[in-house]
Structure 1
Amino acid sequence: MDMLMFELNKNITKPLYEQLYTGIKTAIMCKQLEVGTKLPSKKKLADFLNISQTTIEVAYAQLIAEGFIVSKPRIGFFVEDINELPYIETEQAELPVEEAEEKSFRFDFHPGKIDTDSFPFSQWRRYAKDLYDLPSKNLLQVGEPQGEYTLRTEIAKYLYQSRGIVCKPKQIVIGSGTEQLLPMILRLLKSDSKFALENPGYSAIPRTQLQNKAIPIPVDEDGLIVDELEKTNANVVYITPSHQFPTGAVLTATRRTQLLHWAVKAENRYIIEDDYDSEFRYTGKPIPALQGMDQNNKVIYLSTFTKSLMPSLRVAYFVLPSTLLKKYKETFSYYSATVPRFDQHIVARFMRDGYFSKHLNRMRKIYRKKLDKLTHTFKTYYPEVIITGDQAGMHVLISLPLAISEEKLKKIAEENSIAIYPVTDYLLKPIEYKYPTFLLGFGGIPLEKMEEGIHQLMQCWGIAKNKL
């Protein structure tokens, strides 16, 4: 062979053995070296290239390992027959890596954003540091399918104290988010079940197996209209009674009783209660959970730590009626918990030592200040804007006296680096709104930036700022 084709550059950072390996491999793949060609001995090639035999040996060893050449004892090295190569590992063949494009906004009024500056990192870090050590080596093994018992115990205590729910740890199932738990709940119900959903309602629901099957039930200022539910053949209803999403309506006591009576009228009727942000209520006493009123095992309670701790934690849970426990055990006996055990124990200790309650109390005050700043800004400068759903949660609805579509208003806001979310994004069935209506989340907007963000939004929409 012509050894001159393997000139090496000793002035670059790429190792000599790798340069040689790449040169020979490229020559074989380009048919410059035919099958069966004998390569120079390690000594001869080392002398020719003025490099060590070790460098040659390493390059040849890599080519042998990848099947480009073969070593025949006491004879030499020969080019192998390469019919099909699974990949080409040369610099020219490297594929460009595309980075994910993430939109960035000056102001993002997403209803799911939280106040990240107020998270208790010091306490959280301490629990994480204590757990990630040899004494916790048992947590490296697979845990209980329903989730860690210690966390389920803390959740049961919390639900009793804060939501009036009496349940045992064995009724609680922990999973990585509502989207993961909801299909499990649906499997526990009869396959021919007819599902009813609030309209407008939680946007993740249509992306589940309920898509194109759900019966939309209208919502008014008192929550889900149970009279409309009773007119349907639905036997399962998914509801957010303590703070209806996205309208913010609270299901009245009369309708709660009516809904529970509806569930009792047939054996296969159930209520799925999503209590996603019940921790944050700003007027009056906390609204008890519907499950706490249930005397007939008809309510499946569902909640999450998304708003109370952080969205990225991915810890949610449901509480099963005792009548469904046996079927759960039979159906999901082979499942594994989808939340890392270390994360579960961090949350459990955080709750056990009282930090969770302290954090919630602090966040209520912070979000209350943000809500007050938001409503004050609108009432002072933009009184024509209608605000609803401000009793609880981390967003309000704003309705604008403008003769322009929500889609166009959203686009104008995006062009001004502001993210805003139309209520029509959460519809299962079209609803005619008198004015363009948007969800305005305030959780992720810093308090000192709240007024500026609202002014920027209103000005880009051409709503004149009133003079004091």
Structure 2
Amino acid sequence: MLTYHLDPHSKTPLYEQLYRAVRADIMSGALAGGDRLPSKRRLAANLHVSQITVETAYGQLLAEGYLSSAPRRGYFVQQQLAVPAQTQTPRTAVQPSPIEEPHYLYDFRTNIVDNGCFPFSTWARLSRSVLSEYSDRLLRATDPRGAVELREQIARYLYDFRGINVSPDNILVGAGSEYLMQLVIQLLGRDRVYGLENPGYRKLYQIFAAGGAAVCPLPLDKSGLRADTLAASDASVVYLTPSHHFPLGTVMPAARRLEILRWASDAPDRYIIEDDYDSEFRYASRPIPALGELDRAGRVVYVNTFAKSLAPGLRIGYLVLPDALMARYRERFSLYSSTVPSFEQHTLAAFLRTGAFERHISRSRKVYQARRDALLSALARELADLPHEVSRSEAGLHLLLHMRNGMLEHELIERAAAVGVRVYGLSAYYTPPVEPPKATLVLGYAGMTEPHIDEAAALLRQVWNVQSHP
């Protein structure tokens, strides 16, 4: 009986894992031409998977010519397959072995969404409609700022749900936040100093460095980035996540927002980049109004993507540029082509126009709130005897866990990894000289099912119990 190790937690579907394993055995000669494979029922029972999984794997092997089938007899390895003999080739250099990522049973990642929430059937239906309605127009070059239909729908969405009254002419669609940030750096200039939140999203430092821009880490307090520290710095542009800071989860109050807007207005050519990355996911109240809603001087560059609300793989984001910057863009960069295919833009426009996006967000919010609640319950139950505190769970797709059991942050991470649970330290988001809080973890829950959350929390209790681990 064939026996393979199939990982139910892998991103690769079970049927594809089985298909690859059988194909590898055929190509290595472990399964010879004419060998009969187990029936779908017997192999499914042996591997503890569904018969559909085995049937799909066998079907793919059959389609590619690795197997043949006979009525009432089953599946056989093709007789004509010959395993090529290995030839000795001179070794000119020793190639380094690829570094394999450790395997984790449970991973509290923050940069993930649940693909199961994606409305595939609605997206497919709208895609077919777009193909029929726009036909050959999809093959033509679109406006460098993006399809006008999509920009109109984004403008409507921003007005209805974020309180920002903006013209579609001020919206620029692009392939994700990394591309858009590089474009902003070109628009504003590489000779500036860009203020970044500390702690903050580490990838931002790499993006600005790749764009040749100087950065200045700026400390935060309980209200977010400090306006006095910003004013005392050399920065003329500041990057903020005011509606839900990552990773601290701080919501910047209105008074602080007005202070930073005044800073921007006090000198010519100062700008604020507002990243509104997960504003859709608040569980205790309505979404916080965007900073751009308060801007009357044209100093806020608003940036958002559909990575958290739909899927990272779509690679669709957008900027809202003040009039002066949009004029600068049209003068200098309108020769650039749109970086998002017309087909995806028109499909997303239809998704927004028909109300499907609002329904999707409503459903996703319920799923993620249930997972947030499951994580809070699991931590309260499993860590009841361990001093700890949970904070910043009111919004977004992650929370902070402050452990007070005497372990250092790296000990918490290492012991969790030893039992197959991946957790992330808050210190990774800090830049010296600002000191991070002690023994604090960032736990993302969007990619974890509720049973997995319970199982992971039980494992954490075992390894974080100081009494049982001297």
TM range (shorter): 0.7 to 0.9
Tell me the percent identity: 39
Superposed displacement of residue 346, structure 1? 1.4
The 5 A counterparts of 1:311-330 are: 311-330=312-331
1-structure distance, mates of 2:322, 2:450:
41
1:441 to 437, 441, 444: 444
1-structure distance, mates of 2:162, 2:389:
31
Superposed displacement of residue 456, structure 1? 1.9
Aligned to 1:353: 354
Superposed displacement of residue 446, structure 1? 0.9
Secondary structure of the corresponding residue to residue 239 of structure 2:
strand
Question: Cα distance 1:391–1:134, how it changes in 2: closer, same or farther (>3 A)?
Answer: closer
2-structure distance, mates of 1:136, 1:103:
46
Question: Cα distance 1:381–1:441, how it changes in 2: closer, same or farther (>3 A)?
Answer: same
Report Cα offsets for 1:346-387 as digits up to 9, x if no partner. 111111110000011111111111112212222333242211
Aligned to 1:163: 162
The one-letter code matched in structure 2 to 1:400 is: M
1-structure distance, mates of 2:301, 2:466:
45
The one-letter code matched in structure 2 to 1:157 is: R
The one-letter code matched in structure 1 to 2:322 is: P
Aligned to 2:286: 285
The one-letter code matched in structure 1 to 2:297 is: N
2-structure distance, mates of 1:251, 1:113:
25
Superposed displacement of residue 100, structure 1? 9.1
Question: Cα distance 1:405–1:100, how it changes in 2: closer, same or farther (>3 A)?
Answer: closer
Contact kept? 2:298, 2:323, Cα under 8 Å: yes
2-structure distance, mates of 1:453, 1:192:
47
Aligned to 1:130: 129
Contact kept? 1:402, 1:435, Cα under 8 Å: no
Contact kept? 1:243, 1:392, Cα under 8 Å: yes
**Number of matched pairs:** 377
Secondary structure of the corresponding residue to residue 363 of structure 2:
helix
Contact kept? 2:171, 2:321, Cα under 8 Å: yes
Question: Cα distance 1:192–1:461, how it changes in 2: closer, same or farther (>3 A)?
Answer: same
Question: Cα distance 1:213–1:404, how it changes in 2: closer, same or farther (>3 A)?
Answer: farther
TM-score, normalised via structure 1 length: 0.75
1:395 to 394, 398, 420: 398
Aligned to 2:40: none
> Structure 2 unaligned runs (5+)?
1-85
Report Cα offsets for 1:250-304 as digits up to 9, x if no partner. 0011101111111100011100000000000112232100001100000000001
The one-letter code matched in structure 1 to 2:303 is: L
Aligned to 2:139: 140
Question: Cα distance 1:402–1:198, how it changes in 2: closer, same or farther (>3 A)?
Answer: same
2-structure distance, mates of 1:417, 1:322:
51
1:451 to 434, 449, 454: 454
2-structure distance, mates of 1:221, 1:403:
25
1:421 partnered with 2:420: no
Aligned to 2:47: none
1-structure distance, mates of 2:136, 2:282:
40
The one-letter code matched in structure 2 to 1:449 is: H
1-structure distance, mates of 2:294, 2:423:
37
The 5 A counterparts of 1:188-207 are: 188-207=187-206
Superposed displacement of residue 437, structure 1? 1.2
Aligned to 1:176: 175
> Structure 1 unaligned runs (5+)?
1-89
Aligned to 2:388: 385
Aligned to 2:298: 297
Question: Cα distance 1:93–1:245, how it changes in 2: closer, same or farther (>3 A)?
Answer: same
The one-letter code matched in structure 1 to 2:231 is: E
The one-letter code matched in structure 1 to 2:203 is: A
Aligned to 1:209: 208
1-structure distance, mates of 2:458, 2:226:
36
Report Cα offsets for 1:112-149 as digits up to 9, x if no partner. 22122222111112122334469522212332211111
TM-score, normalised via structure 2 length: 0.75
The one-letter code matched in structure 1 to 2:456 is: G
CA RMSD of aligned residues (A): 2.6
Superposed displacement of residue 308, structure 1? 0.5
Question: Cα distance 1:382–1:100, how it changes in 2: closer, same or farther (>3 A)?
Answer: closer
1-structure distance, mates of 2:388, 2:202:
25
Bigger shift: 350-359 or 279-288?
Answer: 279-288
Contact kept? 1:402, 1:436, Cα under 8 Å: no
